[in-house]
Amino acid sequence: MAQQAEMKRRVAGTVKWNAIDKLLSMALYTVTGIVLAREVPKDDFGLLGAVMVFAAFAALFVDSGFSSALIQKKRVSRLDYSSVFWLNMAVATAIYIILYFCAPLIARIFQNDLRIIPVARVALLAFVINATAIVQTNRLMKRMQVKMITVSNALGLIISSVAAIWMAVEGMGVWALVWQTLILSAVKSIILWATGHWTPLFRISLRSLKGFFKVGSGMMGGAFLNILFKNIYAFIIGMRAGVLPLSYYTQADKWSNMGISSLTAIFTQSFLPALSQFQDDPRRFAASTAKMNRFTSYLLFPCCGLAITVTTALFHLCFGSKWDAAIYLFQLLMLRGIFTVLSSLYNNYILALGRSRLIVVTELLRDSAALIAIALTWPFIALETAEDPTLGIAILLWGQIGASVLTWGVTLVVASRLSGRNAWQFASDSLPYAATALISVTLASMLTWLTGSPLLLTVGQLLIGGAIYMGLNKIAGSRIQSEVIGHLRSRFIR
């Protein structure tokens, strides 16, 4: 019982600091993003978006999936950490050199926009800097000591945001976005190295790397497919429709991804270390998955639902009418994000049991469906009208929503069986919260009489929708809500 109580305390602490990290990051990104979206020309967001497609794949190959293997393994030595660190640095350096000389080819892909060449050569340095902090971050996550990760992210965001806003106001355009990325990466890495109390051995163990390969290769395969189909849309849109439509998509993706990635990170980073401890205890593992399903659903559905509801008012409040073409794209991406978060949660159950190769199977199924959807929507991607310059992009995203729903269903079946529960039990963990969230956002969306004021409408829909959601869960006797409120009271009300 003492061990279980200690694990519960550590999980709660990890969730708390991950939540603080993501909420603080969202707040800082929001403030900075609003200023940059107003000050930086639309095309410049498309330029950086084109480069970030390649940065995402570069970061994947740098990590090689070994980060997840480090967390999944029960006992990790200093030599293990050192081996992964030096591998990361070697791969990062090699890939950057290749991409530096390939910058003209990248520009040629995106309708030969030569502005991309210098942007790519500077912006891609960020993934090399990030590679220096991968092991430091994983050591803290492994120990469920994520406070300094939160601190490094916060300070990095503050410093990089101030610099980016100053550059944007000074008219530096895309370079404000580029240097924001570089400064953020550098500050985070410096803080983690200064406080991490770890230095690598000047040795690499091939035996250690080989031991991580079984889990790491499976995760890398799944991550590769995930990143491929996360970034292929920007690639296709930029290639087919050009930089300006890509800018609209980039804005929608950035703001939606801020919320979806934060929710995914909170749950995956907090739950995976704890689940790994229960991998040899089927009963406790099954009970843990049930509670994690309910907790995730309790937060996920109202967050995404209310975000979709207030999108128009919130965009008008923050940006005026400059980014109206991105509003519907944002709503579609948030809808898809619900299934993305749940699928990521289920994949963590699979990973915690050391069955990472099954993740590749589920990802292959999703990506096969996504490829079919892309093929069907390919002729329409560049479609636009005077009223809707992103009509073709919306058609593309509806196809991806269908692929995500299919992936969620298959992953649910696989994860439930491995966890010792059936698919209906897994689904029933989430259904009550999906239903109460749907009722809440439907009622909140009826506040059309407040449309004269974007601020009033945004605040009103959030408060009323949130109140209705909590009230319905109170009536339904939600144990998760009671535990969340009880935990918050114990922490903040003495």
336 band by pLDDT with thresholds 50, 70 and 90: very high
- Would you report the helix, strand and coil content of the chain in percent, each value rounded to 5? 85, 0, 15
Q: Residue 239 — pLDDT band, cuts 50, 70, 90?
A: confident
How distant, in Å, are the alpha carbons of 99, 364, 375, 380, 493 from that of 224? 18, 10, 20, 26, 45
Average pLDDT over residues 148-164: 87
Checking if the pLDDT of 435 tops 90, the result is yes
Q: What's the confidence (pLDDT) of residue 353? A: 76
Written as one string, the DSSP assignment of 196-245 is S-----S---HHHHHHHHHHHHHHHHHHHHHHHHHHHHHHHHHHHT-HHH
Does 161 score more than 70 pLDDT?
Answer: yes
Per-domain residue ranges of the chain: 1-206, 241-494
Which DSSP string do the residues of 33-88 spell out, in sequence order? HHHHHHHS-HHHHHHHHHHHHHHHHHHHHHHTTHHHHHHHSS---HHHHHHHHHHH
Alpha carbon distances (Å) from 41 to 20, 45, 175, 247, 250 = 32, 7, 11, 10, 13
Helix residue ranges per DSSP H, 102-146:
103-109, 116-123, 125-131, 134-142
Alpha-carbon span 178 to 341, nearest angstrom: 28
Are the beta carbons of 76 and 84 closer than 8 angstroms? no
Q: How does pLDDT run across 213-227, given as a tens digit for each residue? A: 665 555 555 566 666
Q: What is the number of other CB atoms lying within 10 angstroms of the CB of residue 393?
A: 30
For 246-291, the pLDDT digits (tens) are: 889 989 988 888 778 777 766 665 555 556 666 667 788 888 888 8
Q: What is the mean pLDDT of the chain?
A: 82
For 66-112, what is each residue's pLDDT tens digit? Answer: 666 666 666 777 888 888 888 888 888 998 999 999 999 988 888 78
Give just the sign of the alpha carbon dihedral 141, 147, 152, 158: positive
Helix (H, G, I), strand (E, B) or coil at 222: helix
pTM for this structure? 0.72
pLDDT of residue 385: 84
Q: CA–CA separation, 32 vs 160, rounded Å?
A: 9
Whether residue 492 has pLDDT greater than 60: no
Angle at which helices 243-277 and 206-240 cross, to 10°: 150
Which contiguous run of DSSP H or E holds residue 435? helix 423-444
d(CA 487, CA 477): 17
For residue 123, name the pLDDT band (cuts at 50, 70, 90).
Answer: very high
User: Are residues 147 and 76 in contact, defined by beta-carbon separation less than 8 angstroms?
Assistant: no
**Residue carrying structure tokens 């293990």:** 80
Residue 187: pLDDT over 90 = yes
Residue with tokens 């009970």: 287
The mean pLDDT of 176-189, rounded to a whole number, is 93
Inform me whether the pLDDT recorded for 365 exceeds 70.
yes
Distance CA 135, CA 88 (A): 9
**Tokens matching residue 176:** 């404000």
Neighbours of 197 (CB within 10 A): 8
Per-residue pLDDT, 350: 84
pLDDT at position 279, please? Answer: 64
